[in-house]
């Protein structure tokens, strides 16, 4: 007699497992994500462990072996280069440039004499060749494989023994032993587990491309992000040519660094100084415009914050924020009204970060307040003035970190005046060619910037 096939329902968003179908997942609250999958038979074989516990003092600490991708922006985000034997997940919206970036990385590494395997389950070899022709990729050590069967990919990896492998994408790869469809929780989890084993045992660096959902997170179970060593998000607006590469998780480096690229006809080009790009086309002598300096890891980036206030036509004023936290803008407007007496409760307020960049650093608080006050009073801020500072609920301006780097970046781009918190004046060396004006509260800051 043939045994009864056991099935279970697994949520495709979080991996929650249930013996029966449910419309709403109890784990993550998503609707219509429970999919029936066949349970695999457990052979209950005893596996002998090859590792033994060691005292922490007996473990030899070796520095990770890294190599460069010839893209300084990517190397900075990775913490100094690619670590041998690491598993790196790259996510981003469709068409943002994930495949283009990884094909350029594969080309750069293979040009140094190393073997690279580019395995794609979404495109044929001819389609990859068309993109390679546009990017002028002609390296002989770059091998292309159009395959979705993980067992076949594993066989070719063992034959070629490449230094780097690119999997595009993990949602299209499947293991024939599993009966579930490609992209399901079981397939993604198992495929990632196999790739992790290959990376660690053969000391091969593997890049995985992951699709993202409408909310912007990696599609599939969250366990995918927990299993890999590094998670990179490729961000950007369709209406802007530049792209931002950001590390969300990195076991071998910092998660604060960003890399900036510009999409051109022949691929992605590094932006060495993103401040110049973000400030290009900035209007002069217009109210509601203020330049702030935000720290992205160890790199200072100058960004323009724009604000527009106008009398509301309804009883409830409208508030909109793009690129900054909406609730933070509401809080700062309340501080502006309470501590300065600026009656903005009957005005609509719109705040935007020019260029599409997202700012989440408290050091940009003073810039948001100054741009709103400038628009409200219709008084322009001097175009060569930069503002830095965190604002508290009592109207005080608190100190920020890395103030010297911010001032040097402002001076390098031709700014003449820098408004900083009074706490940051102690012990810093002010470069020549820029005047630094310390302020203690938003009253002083508005007096200096707007003249009262």
93 is in an annotated binding site: yes
Angle at 295 between CA 294 and CA 298, to 5 degrees: 160
98 is in an annotated binding site: yes
Angle formed by the axes of helices 442-450 and 326-340, to 10°?
90
CA separation for the pair 265, 351 (Å, rounded):
33
CA distances from 297 to 62, 64, 225, 246 (A): 26, 21, 21, 10
CA separation for the pair 117, 157 (Å, rounded):
8
Residue 424, by phi and psi: left (phi above 0), alpha (psi -120 to 50) or beta? alpha
Contacts (Cβ under 8 Å, ≥6 apart) of 209: 90, 91, 98, 99, 102, 166, 167, 168, 169, 170
CA separation for the pair 300, 406 (Å, rounded):
6
Type and span of the H or E element at 133: helix 125-134
24 is in an annotated binding site: no
20 is in an annotated binding site: no
Beta bridge partners of 8: 37
CA distances from 235 to 79, 118, 232, 257, 300 (A): 19, 23, 10, 14, 19
96 is in an annotated binding site: yes
97 is in an annotated binding site: yes
CA separation for the pair 278, 266 (Å, rounded):
22
Q: What are the b/e assignments for 262-281, b being 16+ CB within 10 Å?
A: bbeeebbbebeebbebbbee
Tell me the longest C-alpha to C-alpha distance in the chain.
90
Angle formed by the axes of helices 365-377 and 326-340, to 10°?
60
Do 157 and 144 meet the contact criterion of CB atoms below 8 Å apart?
no
Query: Concatenated DSSP letters for 193-259?
Result: HHHHHHHHHHT-EEEEEE-B-TTSSBSS-THHHHHSSEEEEEE--TTSSEEEEEEEEETTS-SS-EE
Helix then strand count (H, E) for the chain reads 11, 23
Beta strands (DSSP E) in 273-398 are: 289-296, 299-311, 319-322, 347-353, 385-387, 390-391, 397-398
Which residues are annotated binding-site positions for ATP? Answer: 92-99
Known binding-site residue numbers: 92-99
């Amino acid at each position: 007699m043939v045994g009864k096939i056991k099935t279970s329902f697994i949520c495709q968003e979080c991996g929650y497992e249930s013996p029966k179908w449910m419309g709403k997942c109890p784990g993550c609250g998503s609707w219509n994500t429970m999919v029936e999958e066949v349970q695999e038979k457990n052979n209950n074989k005893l596996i002998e462990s090859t590792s033994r516990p060691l005292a922490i003092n007996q473990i030899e600490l070796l520095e990770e072996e890294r190599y460069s991708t010839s893209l300084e922006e990517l190397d900075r985000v990775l913490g100094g280069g690619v670590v041998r034997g690491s598993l790196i997940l790259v996510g981003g919206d469709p068409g943002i440039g994930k495949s283009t970036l990884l094909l350029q990385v594969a080309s750069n590494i293979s040009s140094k004499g190393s073997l690279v395997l580019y395995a794609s389950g979404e495109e044929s070899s001819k389609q990859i060749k068309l993109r390679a022709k546009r990017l002028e990729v002609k390296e002989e050590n770059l091998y292309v494989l159009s395959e979705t069967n993980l067992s076949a990919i594993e066989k070719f990896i063992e034959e070629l023994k490449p230094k780097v492998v690119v999997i595009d994408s993990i949602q299209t790869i499947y293991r024939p032993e599993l009966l579930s469809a490609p992209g399901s929780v079981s397939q993604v989890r198992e495929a990632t587990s196999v790739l992790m084993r290959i990376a660690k045992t053969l000391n091969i660096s593997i890049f995985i491309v992951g699709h993202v959902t409408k909310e912007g997170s990696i599609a599939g179970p969250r366990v995918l992000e927990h299993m890999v060593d590094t998670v990179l998000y490729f961000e950007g607006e369709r209406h802007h040519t530049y792209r931002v590469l950001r590390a969300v998780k990195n076991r071998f480096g910092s998660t604060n660094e960003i890399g900036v690229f510009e999409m051109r006809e022949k691929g992605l080009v590094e932006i060495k100084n993103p401040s110049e790009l973000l400030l290009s086309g900035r209007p002069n002598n217009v109210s509601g415009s203020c330049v702030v300096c935000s720290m992205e890891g160890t790199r200072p980036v100058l960004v323009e914050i724009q604000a527009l206030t106008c009398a509301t036509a309804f009883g409830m004023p409208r508030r909109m924020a793009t690129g900054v936290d909406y609730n933070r803008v509401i809080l700062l407007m309340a501080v502006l009204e309470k501590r300065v007496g600026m009656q903005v409760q009957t005005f609509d307020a719109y705040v935007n970060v020019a260029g599409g960049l997202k700012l989440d650093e408290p050091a940009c608080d003073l810039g948001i307040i100054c741009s709103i006050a400038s628009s409200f009073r219709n008084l322009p801020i001097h175009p060569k003035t930069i503002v830095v500072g965190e604002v508290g609920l009592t109207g005080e301006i608190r100190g920020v970190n890395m103030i010297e780097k911010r001032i040097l970046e402002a001076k390098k781009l031709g700014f003449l005046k820098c408004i900083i918190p009074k706490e940051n004046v102690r012990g810093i060396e002010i470069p020549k060619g820029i005047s630094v004006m310390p302020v203690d509260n938003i009253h002083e800051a508005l007096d200096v910037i707007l003249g009262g």
